[in-house]
Amino acid sequence: MELFLKDTAVKFIPTNKKALYLAGEMWKLYFTRKKKGLQCSECGKIQEVFCERCGTKISNRQHIITDFIIGAFALLQSNIFLTRDRGFYKDYFKNLIIKNP
């Protein structure tokens, strides 16, 4: 790993308490909102989806705690974040500058 980091000029910066606290706060918010439905990965809109056949509400665990740690770290330590999941990160980390790969 050290050789890869050196060859690519990638800096390893460990997370900190401030980022972990922010991640935890957004994780709590996610769980309060999650009960309402699924979140669009493009725009962040949360909506309920029901099975066409039986009418049961469809739910899915879409994000894990590491998504929030990454978002909080990017917001506090970087000036730009590269992701395809723009809706999620825009919704929970509003001041994060996001670019599509």
Has residue 18 got a pLDDT over 90? Answer: yes
pTM exceeds cut of 0.75: no
- Please provide the distance, in angstroms rounded to a whole number, between the alpha carbons at the two ends of the chain: 24
49: three-class secondary structure by DSSP: strand
For residue 61, what pLDDT is reported? 62
pLDDT digits (tens, 9 = 90+) for 21-37: 999 999 999 888 776 77
Q: What is the mean pLDDT of residues 34-44?
A: 76
Give residues with Cβ within 8 angstroms of 75, minimum separation 6.
19, 22, 81, 93, 95, 96
Picking from 62, 50, 65, the residue whose alpha carbon sits closest to that of residue 87 is: 62
78 vs 4: CA distance, rounded Å: 21
